[in-house]
Amino acid sequence: MLSSDHTILSSLLEALTQGERPWLVTVTGTIGSSPRPVGSLVVFRADGSQIGSVSGGCVEEDLVERLLAGVFDGPAVHFTEYGVSAEDNEKWGLPCGGRLELAVQQLDAKDSDWVTRARLAMLERQTVLRTVDCISGESLLSPTDRFTGLEKDEQRLSHCFGPRQRLLLVGAGQLAAHLSTLALAMDYEVLLTDSREWALDQWQGPDIEKMLGLPDDVVRVHGSDEHCAVITLSHDPRVDDMALMEALESSAWYVGALGSVRTTEKRLARLLKLGVEEKALARLHAPVGLSIGSKTTMEIAVSIMAQLTQLRRAKDNNNEALLNNA
The pLDDT tens digits for 9-41 are: 999 999 999 999 999 999 998 877 666 788 889
Tell me what the mean pLDDT of segment 174-179 comes to: 97
282 confidence band (pLDDT: 50, 70, 90): very high
Tell me: cis bond preceding 287? Omega within 30 of 0 counts: yes
Residue pair 148/206 in contact by the 8 Å Cβ criterion = no
Residue 1 has pLDDT above 50, yes or no: no
CATH topology of domain 166-325: Rossmann fold (3.40.50)
User: What pLDDT shows up at residue 52?
Assistant: 87
User: What pLDDT shows up at residue 34?
Assistant: 67
Q: Over the stretch 136-147, which tens digit does the pLDDT of each residue have? A: 999 999 999 888
Residue pair 139/165 in contact by the 8 Å Cβ criterion = no
Q: End-to-end CA distance of the chain: give it in Å, rounded.
A: 30
- Euclidean distance between CA atoms 305 and 326, whole angstroms: 13
User: What pLDDT shows up at residue 146?
Assistant: 84
Residue 134 has pLDDT above 70, yes or no: yes
Q: Is the pTM of this model over 0.85?
A: no
Q: Over the stretch 202-219, which tens digit does the pLDDT of each residue have? A: 999 999 999 999 999 999
Tell me what the mean pLDDT of segment 300-304 comes to: 97
Q: Which residues of the chain are in CATH 3.40.50.720 domains?
A: 166-325
User: What pLDDT shows up at residue 318?
Assistant: 59
**Above pLDDT 70, what percent of the chain?**
90
User: What pLDDT shows up at residue 94?
Assistant: 53
Identify the CA nearest to 55 among candidates 71, 78, 77, 37: 37
User: What pLDDT shows up at residue 322?
Assistant: 44
Residue 276 has pLDDT above 50, yes or no: yes
